[in-house]
A and B are shown apart, each in its own frame.
Chain A
């Protein structure tokens, strides 16, 4: 609180499911019929919040976390979220902070669709017993990818 992180990271980031994919995503995004329906990871951002940052629909953006990590995803400008919230699906893997890691997968093992894993950018809290990451409430800042 004393670092005023809430000013540098004013948007609450939450994550959730897509109907086409399941879990970590590697299994279902290897299915070409499902992969064709959701081909990229994205962040849902409110039109007012996007306009404040000069972000248009389908621009690449950096979603930055107080831990210093950042993920590169497409922006989906929509009324689904309000001004202080952003939503990213989990289910994607294979990109790391903007780098496509397809070449590191064993031959033929990579899913059809790769994308940033949202938990790269989620916050540092962990459940004490299960070590489960904090998936639903993270602070973030979203910037246009330059």
Chain B
């Protein structure tokens, strides 16, 4: 069966927040919950600014699922990690466990008590019946049941964010990496590996461009 994943191509992401707005729109996500958000590093430093769109990564061995004390998580046949809001007690353990900050809570009620956990559902709703009003109100739209892909990936203006069956999207991404390396234009296109994550011996630290290199600057 298909295994659903996201890949966000940092060379293409322009921080337009189109994915964020699309998700908010279709899933009626309230103010304060950010199912998807765009993170930018080295902001303003020419040639080194990179953006990436982050949401739930639907991990194969999901930490959120592992730590939940009431076992409200489950995986669908397509590898999407979902949870049941009726069982969720709002304890927050999943949020601590997740390295991506995907589970989110609203602070409602007295003493800022947490609401039920809310997170990216890969646009595949929840345990309620597909396409029902209850599902829409609790979990947002179920696009996978309609045969469509998540709206964030569909709306991405540069096709930086791609989502879908992991075999297909990784072949798309590998294609892009191969073309970039062949062109020799993007040294940062070594997408995988230790030196990409942690830097090799000759990786320079990010530094601001001196004024002499900025066109028009003093």
Contact-residue size bin, chain B (C-beta under 8 Å from the other chain): 10 to 19
Q: What are 24 residue pairs bridging A and B, where the CB atoms are less than 8 Å apart in the complex?
A: A19-B15, A19-B16, A19-B17, A20-B17, A33-B20, A33-B24, A36-B24, A36-B31, A36-B34, A37-B20, A37-B21, A78-B44, A79-B44, A79-B209, A80-B44, A81-B44, A82-B211, A82-B217, A82-B218, A83-B211, A83-B218, A84-B217, A84-B218, A85-B217
CA–CA, A82 and B43, complex, Å? 14
A→B interface (CB under 8 Å):
19-20, 32-34, 36-37, 78-85
CA–CA, A80 and B211, complex, Å? 11
> When the two chains form their complex, are residues A34 and B21 in contact, meaning their CB atoms are under 8 A apart?
yes
By secondary structure, the B interface counts as loop
Closest chain B residue to A33, Cβ basis: B24
> When the two chains form their complex, are residues A33 and B25 in contact, meaning their CB atoms are under 8 A apart?
yes
Chain A hits for B43, CB < 8 A: 78-80
CB distance from B23 to the nearest CB of A (A): 9
Closest chain A residue to B207, Cβ basis: A79
CA–CA, A116 and B214, complex, Å? 29
Chain B hits for A85, CB < 8 A: 217
* Interface bits B1-43 vs A (CB < 8 Å: 1, else 0): 0000000000000011100110011000101001000000001
Chain A hits for B178, CB < 8 A: none
With A33-B25, A34-B21 known as contacts, the answer to whether A79 contacts B45 (CB < 8 A) is: yes
Closest chain A residue to B46, Cβ basis: A79
CA–CA, A84 and B214, complex, Å? 13
Does B188 reach chain A (CB closer than 8 Å)? no
With A79-B44, A80-B44, A83-B211 known as contacts, the answer to whether A37 contacts B217 (CB < 8 A) is: no
CA–CA, A80 and B34, complex, Å? 26
Given contacts A19-B16, A82-B217, A83-B211, 7 further A-B contacts (CB under 8 A): A19-B15, A33-B20, A33-B21, A33-B24, A78-B43, A81-B44, A82-B218
Closest chain A residue to B43, Cβ basis: A78
Does B199 reach chain A (CB closer than 8 Å)? no
Closest chain A residue to B45, Cβ basis: A79
CA–CA, A85 and B100, complex, Å? 36
